[in-house]
Structure 1
């Protein structure tokens, strides 16, 4: 294998113009943020640049495709509802797509700028989900609906303040964001149980299983990377003197991307249905849930909207 494939491309630097000390300082700071591998490297970086010479972590990069495409699919399927009833529900979908793009850039370069954009976009995604769907939460008091605008402004301000803390200790951002999934799961379970929608009764169980599996993959990659790489060694079976190779895997984070994208997509399906049902007095749509494929262990649910026949 050529040395070109085993080593990262030439370091990309900013040439600071000899104008003033402040400009040089800014250029040096940008250089540090945009340097290849200035951010946190995942287990796959043990084989960095070997698949494509300009992509650090190939599997971690390409597995962001579902994060980019699945929310856009749901937007297309409920587009009439978004256009005529509640346009703000498009925002969480767009932010998940933005997060997928940011994560793609981060894993391709492993620079600190990509890491921060990836993590901050997750923070904004969580807060935007709260801002978009809290008016239809079962525990939100109906008499306070006139304050929805103020609550959303408060959420935006809090998110901006919290975003600044992401720059203080970037190595802790991912752990804090993972911990936020605990109250999120609690809200999902509560809303599904109180929505009165038969189609989403099993959604919390499915989402929880996917997210727990994704979290195990995330921890395995971040904490036990050395163990998985150790399994690359050759082991000799002494009983029959046969040499066997046990291959380790550095791809748990890539699997985390796939599982978390399925969990997030199911969350969007669930809350889209809750929003459609809770606002039934404002529209004339009827929904159906279909699956692709129709049979199988792993099936993607999708929403089919139709106008109620009595309004045709």
Structure 2
């Protein structure tokens, strides 16, 4: 147990060649401070959706708070480089995926509607599988990050399918935005891990820090996209509408931050939307 909490008992990244130089108590300074977007951006989305979370679907909080927790865990990991921090960082990512599925499966188009009656069973199956994977993470910690990166392949397929088939013009470009950010982030992660000597020769061992920045924005954008899908799918049960806005560039370029503008609609419009959703089902009989 003591080894888990010893400094530098976990995996070190390329920046560790300059460890403790910026601050004497922080091993990898850039890798530590660049977790800030991962911590703050999910909280920003929760704040903007607080009325919807309070009145309609409190479950939306869970995966986003877990992403904030992951940012805190990653901050601790890169500051100390100990094995405990590494495992908490990696395990929190595993459980973000699990809780994300548990919360958003009911509004995903790929999920067969015939399984809705067994939704609780499906959710428990996801949790059990995740618990098994979590236990395996302790066997060979150095392989955990690689396994998580490989999981991004099926995740990318789901993100692309859900975004392009949502029927919501405002988020049709989101899969491309997310996959561009994640592709760049993965490239930096991979290059930092395999080409460290080259970056040290150039004096720029900070690619993992860039990975944090891009991955944090990509994760935030995923939650924006699925929050909008959730709000639209449940629109017959609440009074809210969601619109996508961008800051600071209102054109929605890749360099701007998307955020949700949540508004309340009149009761009459809510009833009309409910009737429109029921109409196809009525016409079958």
TM-score relative to the length of structure 2:
0.91
State the partner residue of 2:255: 298
User: Pairwise CA RMSD of aligned residues?
Assistant: 1.2
State the partner residue of 2:6: 35
Task: Report the CA distance between 1:154 and its aligned residue.
Answer: 1.2
Task: Report the CA distance between 1:127 and its aligned residue.
Answer: 1.4
Distance 1:93 1:300 in 2: 17
State the partner residue of 2:210: 255
Task: Report the CA distance between 1:297 and its aligned residue.
Answer: 5.2
Pick aligned residue for 1:308 from 224, 246, 265: 265
Unaligned runs of 5+ in 1: 1-29, 232-247
Task: Report the CA distance between 1:144 and its aligned residue.
Answer: 2.2
State the partner residue of 1:143: 114
Aligned: 1:153 with 2:124:
yes
Give runs of aligned pairs for residues 134-213 of structure 1, distance below 5 A: 134-213=105-184
Q: Secondary structure at the match of 2:180?
A: helix
Task: Report the CA distance between 1:68 and its aligned residue.
Answer: 0.4
State the partner residue of 2:39: 68
Give runs of aligned pairs for residues 222-233 of structure 1, distance below 5 A: 222-231=193-202
The answer to whether the Cα contact below 8 Å between 2:249 and 2:255 also exists between their aligned partners in 1 is no
Unaligned runs of 5+ in 2: 270-285
Q: 1:272 to 1:297 in 2, by over 3 A?
A: closer
Distance 1:89 1:178 in 2: 24
Q: Secondary structure at the match of 1:186?
A: helix
Distance 1:78 1:265 in 2: 13
Q: Secondary structure at the match of 1:230?
A: helix
Q: Secondary structure at the match of 1:139?
A: coil
Distance 2:112 2:6 in 1: 49
What CA deviation, in whole Å up to 9, does each residue of 1:250-271 have, x standing for no partner?
1000000000001001100000
The answer to whether the Cα contact below 8 Å between 1:106 and 1:118 also exists between their aligned partners in 2 is yes
Task: Report the CA distance between 1:142 and its aligned residue.
Answer: 2.2
Distance 1:288 1:141 in 2: 27
State the partner residue of 1:108: 79
The structure whose residues are more often helix, as a share, is 2
Pick aligned residue for 1:283 from 228, 234, 238: 238
TM-score relative to the length of structure 1:
0.83
Return structure 1 stretches of 4+ with deviation > 2 angstroms: 141-144, 294-297, 309-312
The answer to whether the Cα contact below 8 Å between 2:232 and 2:241 also exists between their aligned partners in 1 is no
State the partner residue of 2:283: none
Q: Secondary structure at the match of 1:39?
A: coil
State the partner residue of 1:127: 98
Larger radius of gyration: 1
What CA deviation, in whole Å up to 9, does each residue of 1:219-274 have, x standing for no partner?
1111000111123xxxxxxxxxxxxxxxx201000000000001001100000011
Pick aligned residue for 2:20 from 43, 49, 52: 49
Which deviates more, 171-180 or 279-288? 279-288
The answer to whether the Cα contact below 8 Å between 1:284 and 1:311 also exists between their aligned partners in 2 is no
Distance 2:56 2:254 in 1: 34
Aligned length: 267
